[in-house]
Amino acid sequence: MSPATLKVNDNVELAYLDSRAPEGSPDYYTTIFVVHGMIFMSGVFEKMLAAATKKGVHVVAIQHCPFSGSTPFSAEEFNITLTGGTEAECAVYLEA
10 Å CB burial of residue 30 (0-12, 13-18, 19+) is exposed
What pLDDT is stored for residue 49 in this prediction? 82
* Cα distance between the two ends of the chain: 23
pLDDT confidence of 63, banded at 50, 70, 90? Answer: confident
Global pTM reads: 0.69
Mean pLDDT of 44-52: 82
10 Å CB burial of residue 3 (0-12, 13-18, 19+) is buried
Cβ(21)–Cβ(31) below 8 Å: no
pLDDT > 70? residue 94:
no
